[in-house]
Amino acid sequence: MVQWFNGSMFEFPEQFAWKRKHAVKYTGTVDHTWRYGPKLELMAGRVNLQFQPNKKIVWLELFRQFCHLFEPKFAMLHFFTGPELLRCIAISPEGSFRRGPVSRTLLKEGIPNMAWANYFGKEYSEEFDEQKLTSQGFLVEKIGDGYLVVMTENIFDIEKDFVKFSEARNLAKKQFKDGIFLIK
């Protein structure tokens, strides 16, 4: 990316990536906020972390801490298993769900799908009924200006019984306004 500062041109990377090979293996990327196109639209930055499954990690607490730290517009934590990976086409709502949506997708199209744990920033606080989600057994927790919404007790429930997880996800999605999710 090229930027001008005090009359001088500077070039710096728009993103960086890293990979960890020990203990909890993961990769990550950071895309910085920038402006693009003829109208210089704001493209919000994002942090994308992909961990290898590890039952020793308290995933919900880690996600909760990331939400406190970053206060995102939207964030998700999900364990992708065979049923979702098999039908994952790159340029599709499923592909966007698998990669994690970029801000342009969120703005113009919507959230691809409900993950196991989701953080909905203040932009989405009017999009769902917190009390109905809570009364149906979903964990709903206020964090900053947004809400953490969790589908089941354990992220590995997705692997253990995908059908039951999908039923819970579909029930939760019914408490959101129509059109917020790309995958119905």
Contact status, residue 173 vs residue 118, Cβ threshold 8 Å: no
Q: 3-state class of 8 per DSSP? A: strand
Q: Which residue has the tokens 């703005």?
A: 107
Report in angstroms the alpha-carbon separations of 94 from 63, 84, 101, 168, 179.
Answer: 22, 8, 10, 18, 16
DSSP-assigned states of every residue in 22-83? SSS-EEEEEE--EEETTTTEEE--EEEEEEPP-TTS-HHHHHHHHHHHH--SEEEE----HH
Report in angstroms the alpha-carbon separations of 99 from 11, 30, 112.
Answer: 27, 13, 10
Give kind and range of the element (H or E) at residue 169: helix 162-173
For the sheet containing 139-143, what is the strand order? 74-77, 117-120, 146-150, 139-143
Assign 106 a pLDDT band (cuts: 50, 70, 90): low
pLDDT per residue over 8-17, tens digit each? Answer: 555 555 555 5
- What is the residue extent of each domain of the chain? 54-173
Contact status, residue 113 vs residue 183, Cβ threshold 8 Å: yes
Task: State mean pLDDT over 145-162.
Answer: 96
Residue 64 sits at φ, ψ, to 5 deg, of -60, -45
pLDDT per residue over 27-81, tens digit each? Answer: 777 777 766 667 777 667 777 777 888 898 899 999 999 999 888 888 999 998 8
